[in-house]
Structure 1
């Protein structure tokens, strides 16, 4: 599993209805994308849920690197780059994925945590995986994933929520959720 996200920060006075329309008319295009576990079409709106910015920030869980490559080098990402400029794409190595009890997802959070330089990275990841399993039991969680950026020694936890999200994390609204191969991101399966 590979996790990926790019953030397109838009002007403070940007009409976010443009992003909502874009997702409403184009979001289903990834509903059957090969190699894609899920894509959460995430957005932040200035002044909503404490967001200081307008931002379009899709988050992906790729089951296979071939699918991620096909997306990045193909017409979907090319179209986005033509419309907004080519964004920086963050990429993390997947460590774990858990399903939660909530049936739908309308919100998401991303939490980033540094791995201390003096800590055993393996032990930190194992603890984070145990926390991920506990986190997935929250009744509001639809699904949650953990990944590692070994170039920066950071853990990222991305969680899809039924509705309300914790205040302390980066919060998004999920405008559409594509899940073509989410069943292949087996609960408890760790990479």
Structure 2
């Protein structure tokens, strides 16, 4: 499993109806994309859920790196580059994935939290602690699914969780509204630890 996200920050006065329309018309195009576990079409709106910015920030879980490459070098991502410029694409190696008690619902919210692994910490111990957090979060009410991944270049963990309705206010991290979920390979994302 590979996790990926690009975050496009938009002007403060940007009409987010444009992004909503874009997702409504283009989102279903990936509903059967081979090798895509899931894509959550996330947005943040300035002043909503504490967001200081407007942004379009889809989050992906890929079942195979070849599928991620096919997307990045294909027409879908080229449309993003054409319309918004080339965003930085963050990506992480998958560590774990789990479905939650709301796995049969349609997720409407997401949270993304990144945590740096300090130089003084043993990476394996940090990952074990993050895995324990994932298992706990996976059992929480309203969780559709949750994933944990790491960028070993910068030693950054990312916790990504999809929620049936809204994320609990105590849940740390950036909060997103999920406008659409493409999940053609959801059933093929292995649950639990990825090694």
**Residues 53-94 of structure 1: per-residue CA shift (max 9 Å, x gap):** 000000000000000000000010011110111110001010
- Residue 154 (structure 1) aligned to one of 145, 153, 156: 156
- Further displaced range: 85-94 or 118-127: 118-127
| 2:65 aligned with 1:61 | no
In the alignment, structure 1 residue 174 sits paired with structure 2 residue 144: no
Equivalent in the alignment of 2:15: 15
Q: Residue 49 of structure 1 aligns to a residue in which SS?
A: coil
Q: Are 2:139 and 1:137 aligned?
A: yes
Number of corresponding residues: 191
TM-score scaled by length of structure 1: 0.97
SS of match in other structure, 1:128: helix
1:106 is aligned to 108
Query: Which residue in the other structure is 1:116 paired with?
Result: 118
Alignment map for 1:25-36 (pairs within 5 Å): 25-36=25-36
SS in 1 for 2:192: coil
What's the offset of the Cα at 1:156? Answer: 0.4
CA shift at 1:114, angstroms?
A: 1.0
Q: Which runs of 4+ in 1 moved over 4 A?
A: none
TM-score if structure 2 supplies the norm length?
Answer: 0.95
| More moved, 70-79 vs 118-127 | 118-127
- Structure 1 unaligned blocks of 5 or more: none
How far did 1:116 drift?
1.6
Give the RMSD, CA atoms, in angstroms. 0.9
Partner Cα separation in structure 2 for residue 127 and residue 10 of structure 1: 35
